[in-house]
Amino acid sequence: MIWFKLALKNILRRKTRSIFTLLGIAVAITVLYSLLEFQKNYERGLRDELYSLGAHIMVVPKGCPYEAATIALHGGKWPRYINEDNMARILKQPGVGKAAGIIMDAIFDREIKRNKIYLGIDENYVSLRRDWKISGSWFPDSNSIILGSTVAVEENKKPGDEYFLKEKNITLRVSGVLQRTNSQDDGFYFLPQKTMQRIFGLEGKLVVILIQARDIEGIDKLTMTIKENEKDLNIFPLSELLTNMTRIIQSTKVFIFAIVLVAVLTAMMGILNTILMAVFERTKEIGMMKAMGASQADIFRLIWAETVIFGIGGGIFGILLSVIMAKIIAAFLTTILPYAPKGTLIGFSWSALTVSLIFSLIMGLLSGIYPAAKASSVKPMIAIRTE
Amino acid sequence: MIIVSGLTKFYKRGREEVRALDRVSITVEDGEFITLFGPSAAGKTTLLNIIGGLDLPTEGKVSIFGKELTKNEMVNSRRNNTGFIFADFYLIPTLNAVENVMMPQLWSRTVDHRKAEELMSLVGLKHRLRHYPKELSGGEMQRVAIARSLINDPNILLADEPTANLDTTTRDKIIGLFRQLNRDKKITVILATHDPECVSYADRCIRLAYGKIEP
């Protein structure tokens, strides 16, 4: 105990210097922890969102496929369309099990200061969404609307209520409210497809077609066939999308790892500098310890204990900082990525905590080697004479 | 018994070579109280450091209880044979008095809180156990340093100008404490000093000047 107390008290002698050193380590560990969490949650979130579509193949208009995928998953306005003729042709392909065309648009609401996403769907869409449960009923007529669970709460609407779409000056009746799906659907407004096309002036247009293959083994063959027949469209299996998205993240990860590396090296230099200065300041004291019987190994261990305390302390502080600042860090990371799934991107996990703590321990151990060696090589007689 | 024979020590000071000790030979019997008396730069500290295993001689040898003090034996000798006391006390400011006393036990892995308290009691500081060095007077700090030097039950106490920073009243008390330890615990005391008043307390006085023993 006195050993630990001695090391801890040595650190606390120079509070300001120690706090800044600790902050340096904390920042490095915050970046590392956030990266680990983000990496894990991003891939899981992306996979969940793609699988929740209930489809194997996505068909979108020509253009950036990732932008299209983002629109298809999170909704939005994309001024490129697919004709319903394409949909009719695709449906005739023998390998197609189910297919659903979707039209979507977004209207910016000045009051809530964000886009409201409207989706025009038909029964085919519901057949892909096996987990859908509607409180109320499916569209009984063309002037109906189904609200996602989050939207229904925000709008304070229940089945039977009127919904006034003020931008289009039209009143619709809420026929149903979607029970929570924990997917992007919770935040959408669903209209009958023909109604949506009429109100938004998009007759005969679709934004995305989702295809479920008749059998999984036939996905690649079906993709090739549709590609040959629909040369003016982008067709890709969702597994390919997942792979490509993950690959983009991998390349981003190299960049973020470079940031982690710089932060870690800077923090290690901070520990090294702080402890080395402390060793120089305490030369007499170290000499006295040796005079009292401390061996080289004892002094090495004492100085090393100080750097390890710095490492572990900074690590714990860094993890706390990441959890507290999770939303801000996640928001920053999503701005530099082409696509980010919804949900928690940085949270708490034992695996990230363990890796971060081990990393901070290694940081402490490595950066302590030189100051500890320097201190342990102090000659007691010379140290005591030092002014 | 401590046998110092033909001890010579050279130092480099820039390009100049300084002869700190010149063929010094002394024998100290067990339980003796010796003063090394002489002016500054006489070689007192150098001789103490070599006997205490803090430094190696250029020539000659030191034998303690029949065992030659080699480079490999220095740490063990410091840990088991000798207790050091310095003019500047060298207490660790972040540890309280009793923790400072226990500090040498860290290296021998035998931390004994009760023993440290007993030693604090022996030096008359039982009421100052939890006080930090900055809360103690010079005399009290030196008493703590003495208690610290005794924690590993040394056979030899080496004190380098232990009263240099103390007033005369405190000096007499500290020297009296050394005398008491020497008498009651049969500890050999070698005390380096340039204060002629201290000489009268010792069994024997060895006078040093320019690195040599004066007759």
Contacts of A84 (CB under 8 A, 6+ apart): A101, A204, A205, A206
Same domain, A128 and A176: yes
Please return the burial class of A173, using the count of CB atoms within 10 Å of its CB with bins 0-12, 13-18 and 19+.
middle
Cα separation, B13 vs A122, whole angstroms: 96
Same domain, A188 and A287: no
Same domain, A96 and A132: yes
Q: Strand A114-121 and strand A188-192: pairing?
A: parallel
How confident is residue A42, by pLDDT bands cut at 50, 70 and 90? confident
Same domain, A251 and A226: no
User: Chain B: residue nearest A385 by CA?
Assistant: B45
Q: What average pLDDT does the structure give for chain B?
A: 88
Contacts of A291 in chain B (CB under 8 A): 52, 54, 78, 84
Q: Which of A2, A10, A291 sits opposite B111 (nearest CB)?
A: A2
Cβ distance of B54 and A381 shorter than 8 Å: yes
Which residues are registered as beta bridge partners of A178?
A134
A56 domain-assigned: no
Please give the tally of structural domains in chain A. 2
Residue A150 has a pLDDT of: 92
Cβ distance of B86 and A6 shorter than 8 Å: no
**What ipTM was reported for this prediction?**
0.83
End-to-end CA distance of chain A: 31
CA neighbours closer than 13 Å in the CB half-sphere of residue A361: 6
By the 8 A CB rule, do B191 and B198 touch? yes
Distance between B197 CA and the closest CA of chain A, angstroms: 25
Return the SS3 of A376. Answer: helix
Cβ distance of A12 and B79 shorter than 8 Å: no
Residue B47 has a pLDDT of: 92
Contacts of A384 in chain B (CB under 8 A): 54, 86, 90
Question: Within A292-341, where are the H helices?
Answer: 296-324, 326-335
Q: What is the mean pLDDT of residues A186-190?
A: 91
Q: Does B115 touch chain A (CB under 8 A)?
A: no
By the 8 A CB rule, do B107 and A293 touch? yes
Which residues are registered as beta bridge partners of A146?
A176, A190
**Using one digit for the tens of pLDDT, what is the confidence trace for A263-316?**
889 999 999 999 999 999 888 888 888 888 888 999 999 999 999 999 999 999
Q: What is the mean pLDDT of residues A149-167?
A: 91
By the 8 A CB rule, do A207 and A71 touch? yes
Cα separation, B101 vs B86, whole angstroms: 14
The residue ranges of every structural domain in chain B are 29-55+71-207
Residue A338 has a pLDDT of: 60
Taking 90 as the threshold, does the pLDDT of residue A369 lie above it?
Answer: yes
Residue ending a domain, among A186, A208, A231, is A231
Q: What is the mean pLDDT of residues A39-61?
A: 78
Same domain, A227 and A252: no
Is residue A237 within a helix (H) or strand (E), and if so which, with residue range? Answer: strand A233-237
Distance between B214 CA and the closest CA of chain A, angstroms: 25
Domain that holds residue A187: 63-231
Same domain, A188 and A283: no
Q: Does B111 touch chain A (CB under 8 A)?
A: yes
Cα separation, B21 vs B4, whole angstroms: 12
Q: Which of A40-44, A262-266, A364-368 has the lowest mean pLDDT?
A: A40-44
A54 domain-assigned: no
CATH of domain B29-55+71-207: 3.40.50.300
How confident is residue A317, by pLDDT bands cut at 50, 70 and 90? very high
Q: What is the mean pLDDT of residues A155-162?
A: 92
Cα separation, A356 vs A354, whole angstroms: 5
Q: What is the mean pLDDT of residues A21-32?
A: 91
Q: Which of A9, A284, A293 sits opposite B107 (nearest CB)?
A: A293
Same domain, A147 and A220: yes
A55 domain-assigned: no
Cβ distance of A2 and B107 shorter than 8 Å: no
Q: What is the mean pLDDT of residues A366-380?
A: 91
Q: Look up residue A215 and give its amino acid.
A: D
User: Any idea which residue has 């490595």 for tokens?
Assistant: A366
A238 domain-assigned: no
- The larger pLDDT score, comparing residue A339 to residue A42, is at A42
Same domain, A126 and A35: no
Residue A372 has a pLDDT of: 94
Residue ending a domain, among A203, A231, A259, is A231
Same domain, A211 and A360: no
User: Chain B: residue nearest A3 by CA?
Assistant: B106
Residue A118 has a pLDDT of: 92
Q: Does B41 touch chain A (CB under 8 A)?
A: no
**Using one digit for the tens of pLDDT, what is the confidence trace for B170-204?**
888 888 888 888 998 899 999 998 887 777 788 89
Same domain, A267 and A379: yes
Residue ending a domain, among A197, A231, A265, is A231
Residue A54 has a pLDDT of: 74
Same domain, A215 and A75: yes
How confident is residue A8, by pLDDT bands cut at 50, 70 and 90? confident
Cβ distance of A293 and B148 shorter than 8 Å: no
User: Any idea which residue has 């067709």 for tokens?
Assistant: A235
Cβ distance of B49 and A381 shorter than 8 Å: yes
By the 8 A CB rule, do A164 and A174 touch? no
Is residue A370 within a helix (H) or strand (E), and if so which, with residue range? Answer: helix A350-376
Cα separation, A271 vs A58, whole angstroms: 52
Cα separation, A255 vs A260, whole angstroms: 9
Distance between B152 CA and the closest CA of chain A, angstroms: 9
Q: Look up residue A365 and give its amino acid.
A: L
How confident is residue A58, by pLDDT bands cut at 50, 70 and 90? confident
**Residue positions counted in chain B:** 215
Cα separation, A153 vs A155, whole angstroms: 6
Taking 80 as the threshold, does the pLDDT of residue A67 lie above it?
Answer: no
What are the residues of chain A with a beta carbon less than 8 Å away from any beta carbon of chain B?
2-3, 5-6, 9-10, 12-13, 284-285, 288-295, 298, 379-381, 384
* Nearest of A306, A304, A303, A280 to residue A383 by alpha carbon: A280
Taking 80 as the threshold, does the pLDDT of residue A385 lie above it?
Answer: no
Taking 70 as the threshold, does the pLDDT of residue A1 lie above it?
Answer: no
Please return the burial class of A33, using the count of CB atoms within 10 Å of its CB with bins 0-12, 13-18 and 19+.
buried
Same domain, A9 and A96: no
- The larger pLDDT score, comparing residue A340 to residue A370, is at A370
Q: What average pLDDT does the structure give for chain A?
A: 85
A175 domain-assigned: yes
DSSP state, residue A209: E
How confident is residue A387, by pLDDT bands cut at 50, 70 and 90? low
Residue A2 has a pLDDT of: 65
Tokens of A7: 């090391």
Cβ distance of A5 and B75 shorter than 8 Å: no
A338 domain-assigned: yes
Cβ distance of A288 and B86 shorter than 8 Å: yes
Cβ distance of B107 and A295 shorter than 8 Å: yes
A149 domain-assigned: yes
How confident is residue A386, by pLDDT bands cut at 50, 70 and 90? low
Q: What letters, b where the CB count within 10 A reaches 16 and e where it falls short, cover A126-144?
A: bebbeebebebeebeeebb
Q: What is the mean pLDDT of residues B51-60?
A: 90
Mutation choice for A interface testing from B72, B74, B106 by most A CBs within 10 A: B106
Residue B101 has a pLDDT of: 93
Distance between A383 CA and the closest CA of chain B, angstroms: 10
Residue by residue, DSSP assigns A69-89 as HHHHHH----S--EEHHHHHH
Cβ distance of A292 and B107 shorter than 8 Å: yes
User: Chain A: residue nearest B91 by CA?
Assistant: A285
Percent of chain B with pLDDT over 90: 33
A95 domain-assigned: yes
Residue A299 has a pLDDT of: 92
